[in-house]
Amino acid sequence: MTRTRTQGRAQAASPDPYPPSTGAGAAALLAWYDRHRRRLPWRALPGEVADPYRVWLSEIMLQQTTVAAVGPYFTRFLSLFPNVAALADAPSEAVMRAWAGLGYYSRARNLHACAKAVMAAHGGRFPDTEEGLRALPGIGPYTAGAIAAIAFNRQAVAVDGNVERVMTRLHRIATPLPAAKVEVRAATLALLAPDRPGDFAQALMDLGATICTPTTPACGLCPWSGPCAARAQGDMLAFPVKAPKRARPLRHGSALWLVSGANVLLTRRPPKGLLGGMVALPGSSWTVTHRLDQPPPSPLPARLARLPGHAAHGFTHFDLHVSVWRGEVADGTPAPPDHWWEPLAGLAQAGLPTVFAKMAQLAIAAAPP
Ligand code: ADE
């Protein structure tokens, strides 16, 4: 484990933060969790057995997405697809529509593929080991650890951003992330509670989310404040150390807002790639060389006028600005192949991902139907 030069174990408040063999660290954390655990829709109550389907669904939704944002999606998803068999049997359009707005749509495609694999290869039961889970679509090391621990009480850890923050502060791990992941994982495994690995995983998540927060850690309430090396030095906010991020390039595009009567023309993105399989406005591709004053290609002849402003959206690897171009064709014009007319009144339920919903908002604000 790498530490900064000014700080070694000898200088910490106690000589060794919770020697792993004693289990004292896990005991302190679990005692705190038993009093302060968050009630979350996917969580089993104390004494209840966790449902692997709910645990899996929540962990996939919670990748790159906050607990607050996931809550309503999780509840709606469960009412539409109450179990893995129902999800596997659902048409992919229904799954993608239920996911619309959550972002990172490859998660939804993998989720559906995973449900089908659980039905086809595992008789409808999730594998109960990290290794078995990792073999399924969309399940990486973090998610496999989380499901194995939470749903099956396996000796596994789930190291996400919250856990990285807690552990790098506890031990003052100065290696920048992502390289520090190996040390963080080892440090987490060393503290794991052998009898309650599922609660241990969730307790660490809760500690990171509610106490050991990025900018205002509530150290006075933390069950690990005594042995915390960063707390002893007063430099909690210096951890985790992160490798500098590369600047995100800015891409541009143009979108088509083509109206016919009380309808707008929609299409579906190709199945693979960014926003694959999602409902979309027709338009140009998104590139660094595209200019906002270039009109989008239109599958129907129409005079296009650019609407004021542009829609802005941030993806993981690039930022995007899109101009929106309005055109009109006669009511009753047939939709071209791979497109359809969506009633404007039902657009909110059409399953547009956020980036396209922003373009639609711009168009509706500029020219209310
Ligand atoms: N973040 C990722 N997984 C989580 C969980 N199970 N509970 C709370 N936050 C989480």
Mean pLDDT of 155-176: 96
On average, the pLDDT of the chain sits at 93
Any ligand 1 atom below 6 A from CB of 58: yes
Q: Output phi, psi for 241, to 5 deg.
A: -80, 135
d(CA 168, CA 153): 25
**CA-nearest residue, atom 1 of ligand 1:** 62
**What local confidence, expressed as pLDDT, does residue 10 receive?**
36
pLDDT of residue 46: 84
3-state secondary structure of 45: coil
Cis peptide before 17 (omega within 30 of 0): no
Q: What average pLDDT score do residues 179-208 get?
A: 94
Q: Lowest mean pLDDT of 7-11, 111-115, 127-131, 330-334, name the range.
A: 7-11
User: Is 10 buried (19+), middle (13-18) or exposed (0-12) by CB count in 10 A?
Assistant: exposed
Q: Report pLDDT for 18.
A: 61
Q: Are 3 and 172 a contacting pair, CB within 8 Å? A: yes
DSSP secondary structure code for residue 173 in this structure:
B
Residue 340 predicted with pLDDT over 70: yes
From ligand 1's centre to the CA of 38, what distance in Å? 10
Mean pLDDT of the 229-253 span: 95
Give alpha helix (H) positions in 102-196. Answer: 106-122, 130-134, 141-152, 161-171, 181-191
pLDDT band, residue 369 (cuts 50/70/90): confident
Checking if the pLDDT of 74 tops 90, the result is yes
- More confident: 15 or 309: 309
Distance CA 353, CA 158 (A): 29
Question: Does the beta carbon of 205 lie inside 6 Å of ligand 1?
Answer: yes
d(CA 10, CA 126): 45
Say if residue 15's pLDDT is above 70.
no
- The interaxial angle of helices 197-206 and 24-36, nearest 10 deg, is 70
Q: From atom 3 of ligand 1, which residue's Cα is the shortest distance away?
A: 59
Q: pTM of the entire structure? A: 0.81
Query: Residues 257-270: pLDDT tens digits?
Result: 999 999 999 999 99
Averaged pLDDT for residues 287-315: 97
Q: Is the pLDDT of residue 4 over 50?
A: no
Phi, psi (degrees; rounded to nearest 5) at 45: -75, 160
**What is the rounded distance in angstroms from the CA atom of residue 310 to the CA atom of residue 300?**
23
- Indicate if ligand 1 lies below 6 Å from the C-beta of 40: yes
Ligand 1 pocket, residue 44 CB under 6 Å: no
Confidence of residue 245 (pLDDT cuts 50, 70, 90): confident
Relative to the CA of 162, which ligand 1 atom is closest? Answer: 1
Single out the residue of 28, 29, 9 nearest to residue 162, CA to CA: 29
Distance 159 CA to ligand 1 centre (A): 11
Residues with catalytic annotation? 59
Average pLDDT score over residue span 340-369: 94
pLDDT, tens digit (0-9, with 9 covering 90-100), for 34-70: 999 999 999 998 888 899 999 999 999 999 899 999 9
Q: Look up residue 165 and give its two tokens.
A: 């923050």
Rounded distance between C-alpha atoms, residue 148 and residue 158, angstroms:
9
12 — pLDDT class (breaks 50, 70, 90): very low
Q: Is the pLDDT of residue 6 over 80?
A: no
115 pLDDT band (50/70/90 cuts)? Answer: very high
> Given pLDDT bands bounded at 50, 70 and 90, which one contains residue 272?
confident
Residue 75 has pLDDT above 80, yes or no: yes
Q: Which of 205, 207, 211 to mutate to test the pocket of ligand 1 (most atoms within 8 A of CB)?
A: 205
pLDDT-derived band at 194 (thresholds 50, 70, 90) equals confident
- Measured from the CA of 209, which atom of ligand 1 is nearest? 9
> Which position has the higher pLDDT, 16 or 226?
226
The rounded Å distance from CA 337 to ligand 1 centre is 42
Determine the pLDDT at residue 328.
98
Chain-centroid distance, C-alpha 213: 18
- The whole-number average pLDDT for the span 87-98 is 96
What is the arithmetic mean of pLDDT over 151-166? 96
